[in-house]
Copies of this chain bind each other. A is one copy, B any other.
């Protein structure tokens, strides 16, 4: 299709794409805290009333913490991934934009599980959104590795990387399914899943070190 071929055009520098992405990541993680609203007290100086209300906010603190770690993990892997590309074309820009679109969506499911931590649908929704975000990241990763890899890095990347990345998708979906039996199990799975790619994958060969240095 002529329409689709258009996206292969363009040799964009990565600087502004990174600046735009970093902006979105930074705002997303900072907006997460806006869900933590100061509770309303009848007695403004009441210590036990405030203590009780803050305890009630625990699910919100927890969901804030989980989402913060997940978004930071995406940021770090995004940083690593863009360091592998020699430049960007329009297809990559749009894959990146759609990925960022659903990163910026994260505050919504985060607020939902913070507000209704015992609601199976809310807890499921969180997992599904995170699985979808991981899929969008895999799409961006697959596109860059296949089409835009720096020439000097060819052969240094794990050929099974895309396949391995699906572990995260599956893990989030298991959490989403588990929510219907026990929301606690789901929360635990959501907390453990980011550990899979808590640091970006290592390269196969020694060339990798110099590559990431230039990343």
Contacts and interface: CB of A to CB of B under 8 A. Distances in A.
Interface of A: 6-7, 9-13, 16, 18-20, 22-34, 36-38, 41, 44-47, 50-51, 54, 65, 68-69, 72, 75-76, 79, 87, 90, 93-94, 97, 100-101, 104-105, 107-108, 111-112, 115-116, 118-122, 125, 198-200, 202, 209, 212-215
Contacts of A9: 199, 202
Contact of A11 (B29, B37, B72, B209): B209
A27 B30 contact: yes
Interface class of chain A by DSSP: helix
A119 B25 contact: no
A19 B79 CA distance: 11
A198 B93 CA distance: 11
